[in-house]
Chain A
């Protein structure tokens, strides 16, 4: 197998939350120990419900926030705030909302050329313009769009522009933070196809963050299911989709809408609310909502076994190996 382009080990990010007047400040563990590897030309999908730390993960990988603990290794070198400036060109991001991610005051050309202006100071103006125009063509827009403002484009077109900007520096890793969830269904597929196409052509490693499992099924190679800042299950797409081990993953998959009307409905309804990330239960974080929870689950935290397809659960479904 090829070398991973990015490796994360025991990645953590904590926030201090002030408890208000006369109360002790508390620590919110947005991401509490995460391991993953990104390979060129492959997509790692991270799924989970709101508040499970997906976006915090994106902010750490794109060097906006420093991990509280753990290591993030890019191309064999650890990423630290001192070296951020020189490594910005290797990791870029595409955001969820294409209406907020483009500067409304700048023309498309200026938006596309900004990363070059900052990171490739020796590049001439003509070269920059040529590259921007080429990139527009690559993402399926026309050269005339170079002089337009973002508000003249539809959501799908804007997302293409955002992708073009992210690719201007020839990154190795592209973080896609719910790139299609703000688009309507017909546009979603065309943007997804563009992403798949670009990945093949440029051998990009994708970190695909999403809560939409049908989209994930379409693009992912590997899959991580996150719950309250931790990975509860990881594995290849087919393995996880066909036989999820962790009860949470199973419940999540059962909630995917199916295209067969009147088909069998085996949707698992979870009881209770997502616990506050400020007071995560001692044992398995999922225990309060799990239908299989036993005393052991409430007392002890299951760890993720080091296997290709694994779940952090003592009593896994579908014949998985217990933690």
Chain B
């Protein structure tokens, strides 16, 4: 009666390492690979931007203000993407600016996800009254328009990039709490959780070893999405003058500074905008691939 069991067992004998296996499935998703490539460039620039950039990001070339990109009349190879109203090199500023956006993304996602997952797990495992209190607080935070709440927080804390990041993290946190709690609630009903309890697993073990790994897929997608939301929100706060302060070459702040030249010099707003767009898109593509590769149920057996 065990013949059926053994025939397919012979196929795979030794399993590849966990990382190699993940890579195998991730590689099959073309969109995710493109996203990963762009994200790698983005990460490289974030780490080594100041050494890669052709000019100093804050140096002002007074004789070359608002110079168009190289392929337009009047453009030069010295400033490939042109210069801004103060004569600063656009390309250098974009490259150096990657660092701030990257930092914002990583910081915000780490804070919001860690906090959100822990609070969500507690809410999912706690008695009903504590769960209600936690979820009502999260509802209150969600009821505010997120950018407005971030603005208020920044206004209280004072305008700077760090405070903007803290504000964005607080605003994004309830999404993680809800997502985690919802998955925890549905997973907790399942028999494998009961059997872990019968085996003697304590609450901590149930939370982090048994249940949490099964809730991670939506959280990872949310993390990838909010990485880009964080970059967008930071740019928006920068645009409103509440985020990074000039002369920091942050992409949103660059947009804000160039606002009055939109009609005269398209390149001063277009390039920071494209930088934000491409980065956000790449991260979202990567997030989708990450989800597919991390979910064992979607793998071929």
Query: What's the least CB distance linking A117 to chain B, in Å?
Result: 9
A241 to B214, CA, bound (A): 45
A95 to B191, CA, bound (A): 7
A119 and B296 in contact (CB under 8 A), knowing A103-B210, A141-B5, A144-B9?
Answer: no
A95 and B214 in contact (CB under 8 A), knowing A85-B200, A119-B200?
Answer: no
Interface size on B, residues (CB 8 A): 28
B297 within 8 A of A: yes
Residue of B nearest to A97 (CB): B191
B72 within 8 A of A: no
Chain A residues with CB under 8 Å of B198's CB are 62-64, 88, 91-93
In the complex, are the beta carbons of B9 and A103 less than 8 A apart? no
A36 within 8 A of B: no
B263 within 8 A of A: no
In the complex, are the beta carbons of A100 and B191 less than 8 A apart? yes
Tell me which of A8-16, A124-132, A146-154, A207-215 binds B. A146-154
CB 8 Å contact bits of A77-112 with B (1 = contact, 0 = none) = 000000001001101110111001111111000000
A142 and B199 in contact (CB under 8 A), knowing A105-B214, A105-B296?
Answer: no
Chain A residues with CB under 8 Å of B15's CB are 147
A114 and B199 in contact (CB under 8 A), knowing A95-B191, A100-B191, A105-B296?
Answer: yes
In the complex, are the beta carbons of A140 and B1 less than 8 A apart? yes
In the complex, are the beta carbons of B9 and A142 less than 8 A apart? yes
Chain B residues with CB under 8 Å of A115's CB are 199-200
A1 within 8 A of B: no
A149 and B5 in contact (CB under 8 A), knowing A100-B190, A118-B201?
Answer: no
B-side interface mostly: helix
A62 to B194, CA, bound (A): 10
A199 within 8 A of B: no
A105 and B200 in contact (CB under 8 A), knowing A142-B9, A147-B15?
Answer: no
A140 to B6, CA, bound (A): 10
Chain B residues with CB under 8 Å of A119's CB are 199-200
A54 within 8 A of B: no
A91 to B301, CA, bound (A): 33
CB 8 Å contact bits of A300-318 with B (1 = contact, 0 = none) = 0000000000000000000
Chain A residues with CB under 8 Å of B194's CB are 64, 93, 95, 101
A169 and B199 in contact (CB under 8 A), knowing A101-B192, A105-B214?
Answer: yes
A87 to B214, CA, bound (A): 28
CB 8 Å contact bits of B1-15 with A (1 = contact, 0 = none) = 110111001101101
A141 to B8, CA, bound (A): 12
A104 to B201, CA, bound (A): 17
Chain B residues with CB under 8 Å of A234's CB are none
Query: What's the least CB distance linking B18 to chain A, in Å?
Result: 10
In the complex, are the beta carbons of A103 and B196 less than 8 A apart? yes
Residue of B nearest to A189 (CB): B1
A190 and B9 in contact (CB under 8 A), knowing A88-B200, A97-B191, A104-B297?
Answer: no
Query: What's the least CB distance linking A178 to chain B, in Å?
Result: 11
A165 within 8 A of B: yes
Residue of B nearest to A115 (CB): B199
In the complex, are the beta carbons of B199 and A105 less than 8 A apart? no
Q: Pick the contact of B296 from A62, A63, A151, A165 — CB < 8 Å?
A: A151
A71 within 8 A of B: no
A103 and B214 in contact (CB under 8 A), knowing A144-B9, A151-B297, A165-B195?
Answer: yes
Residue of B nearest to A142 (CB): B9
B145 within 8 A of A: no
A103 to B197, CA, bound (A): 13
Q: Pick the contact of A142 from B6, B191, B195, B301 — CB < 8 Å?
A: B6
A118 to B15, CA, bound (A): 26
Q: Pick the contact of A157 from B5, B210, B297 — CB < 8 Å?
A: B5
Q: Pick the contact of B195 from A101, A140, A145, A154 — CB < 8 Å?
A: A101
Q: Pick the contact of A151 from B5, B201, B301 — CB < 8 Å?
A: B301
- Give the one of A92, A102, A114, A166 with max B CB within 10 A: A114
In the complex, are the beta carbons of B197 and A145 less than 8 A apart? no
With A114-B199, A115-B200 known, 15 other A-B pairs at CB within 8 A are A63-B198, A64-B197, A85-B200, A93-B195, A96-B191, A97-B191, A100-B190, A105-B214, A119-B199, A140-B2, A142-B2, A142-B5, A144-B12, A144-B13, A151-B297
Q: List 27 A-B contacts (CB under 8 A).
A: A64-B197, A88-B198, A88-B199, A95-B191, A95-B194, A95-B195, A100-B190, A101-B191, A101-B192, A104-B214, A105-B296, A114-B196, A115-B199, A118-B201, A119-B199, A141-B5, A142-B5, A144-B9, A144-B10, A144-B13, A147-B15, A151-B297, A151-B301, A152-B301, A162-B195, A169-B199, A190-B1
